[in-house]
Amino acid sequence: MDIEALVDDFGFFETWEERYRYLIDLGRDLPDLDEASKTEAHRVRGCISKVWVIPRVEAGPPKRLFFEADSDSSIVRGLVALAKAMFDGKTRDEIAAVDIDDVFARIGFDAHLSVNRRNGFQSMVKMIRAYADAM
């Protein structure tokens, strides 16, 4: 799934309750990380919930970042699924070019996502971008 598909999917729902249910459903579709992968080295700092991001670089050319991720919260796990749709399989430049504020405004999360979850999402994005810069 890509960003445009996400925007279209969220636009289909009329209420925020439906959109949150869809977000939770996206998270349920993520494969679980095994417990051994949930290490402090892969934990996202700045999230109230626990979130882990494990990168994998595909040599390319061009190099592309793939990652596995998980959370202990159902809504945050849905946000992890959003991050995967936005960044998984992208090059460093493609990752840098994603405008999170624009995507959130188009989905409507700019007005309906709590400050804590938004900050946590930004922390996850910062970690993903750091992995992309390092590849």
Tell me whether residue 47 is one of the annotated catalytic residues.
Answer: yes
Distant-in-sequence, close-in-space partners of 108: CB < 8 Å, separation ≥ 6: 10, 16, 19
- Greatest distance between any 2 Cα atoms in the chain: 43
Tell me how far apart the alpha carbons of residues 42 and 17 are, in angstroms, rounded to a whole number.
31
Catalytic-labelled residue, pool 23, 26, 47, 85: 47
Cβ-based burial of 26 (10 A; exposed 0-12, middle 13-18, buried ≥19): buried
Q: How far apart are CA 109 and CA 116, in angstroms?
A: 13
Compute the distance between CA of residue 120 and CA of residue 114 in angstroms, rounded to an integer: 10
Q: Which residues are catalytic?
A: 47
